[in-house]
Amino acid sequence: MQLTFLGTSAGTPSLQRNVSAIALTLSRRGDYWLFDCGEATQHQFMRSALKPGKLDKIFITHLHGDHIFGLPGLLTSRSMGGISEPLTLYGPAGLKTFVETTLSLSGSFVTYPLEVIEIEAGEVFDDGKFKVTAYPLNHVLPCFGYRIEEHDKPGFLDAQRLKAENVPRGPWFQQLKRGEVVTLEDGRVINGQDYLGPATPGRKLAIFGDTAPVATALELAAEVDVMVHEATLEAAMEEKANGRGHSTTVQAATVARDARAKRFIATHFSSRYRFEDMPRLLAECQAIFPATELARDFAVFNL
């Protein structure tokens, strides 16, 4: 799994950063999900290694322009590029109206199956491999953070032990690998759980939308491998940040510490900050949570 940051600026783009968009690559096949789609996200795709045809889902945190104004262009460009793979969008109430209205008024269309699912807090997706849960945040518009959990991978089947106990090979081995109970032709009942090694814990990450401090943050980010959280302003500007539904460096790092996250990646920086300001912001975060990194456009983080 990889996180690719396509935009790391807050509110407006700058010469160094585009607005919010994060891609989560799920497998070696290169299929991925997108979290938010700010203006010019499709331009950022062209400067990255990501392929539009591998995009499977888009999760929108909220309906502010710096998080959704790139959607119409991306959706229609997929069609013009001949991509026929289906795409599903998840996001707050109003997302479907936004998509339908912008496409209709601009005379645009898509030629692939497009589904828009308006969500509420709670589980929004589970395909048996990954589960995504939405948590409400504290912003000036309804806004969500997403917790992505990979299901645990079953341990390896002890084929040598089965052989030693005269359990013949057959199609039931696939059932045993899933931990199921199998009745053999000779009447013996074999419980696959008894022949599996320890499961491999799935990876967990939390991707926050815009938010001032909120109680649900600790549940959203509890013991995740990676927490992605906005750090719009420096610690000295806490009142301004919170008044606009945002967090400071110190507030975001405190969430990572208190939630017992393993790693914190800060993003969504005010366009007032240049690259030369970043060491100062990083120091504020690391004073609270040492395992902090700062995102920049096109940065790739391995999970």
Q: Which residues of the chain have pLDDT under 50?
A: none
246 known member of a binding site: no
From residue 134, alpha-carbon distances to 21, 62, 112, 129, 244 in Å are 17, 12, 26, 17, 22
Other Cβ atoms within 10 Å of 65 Cβ, number: 12
From residue 221, alpha-carbon distances to 29, 249, 264 in Å are 27, 16, 10
* Half-sphere exposure (Cβ direction) of 19: Cα atoms closer than 13 Å: 19
Residues noted as catalytic = 66
The full set of domains in the chain, from first to last, is: 2-153+200-302 (3.60.15.10), 159-195 (no CATH)
Token pair 């990876």 is found at 203
Query: What pLDDT sits at residue 169?
Result: 84
| DSSP letter assigned to residue 1 | -
Note the pTM of the prediction, 2 decimals.
0.90
62 known member of a binding site: yes
Q: What tens digit of pLDDT does each residue of 77-109 get?
A: 999 999 999 999 999 999 999 999 999 999 999
Query: What pLDDT sits at residue 281?
Result: 98
Other Cβ atoms within 10 Å of 45 Cβ, number: 21
186 known member of a binding site: no
Write the Ramachandran bin of 8: left for phi over 0, alpha for psi from -120 to 50, otherwise beta.
alpha
Query: What pLDDT sits at residue 222?
Result: 98
Q: What tens digit of pLDDT does each residue of 27-51 get?
A: 777 799 999 999 999 999 999 999 8
E strands present in the chain: 2-7, 9-10, 21-25, 32-35, 55-59, 87-91, 114-118, 122-126, 130-136, 144-150, 181-183, 189-191, 204-207, 226-230, 264-267, 269-270, 292-294, 300-302
43 known member of a binding site: no
Query: What pLDDT sits at residue 27?
Result: 79
Pairing mode of beta strands 144-150, 130-136: antiparallel
67 known member of a binding site: yes
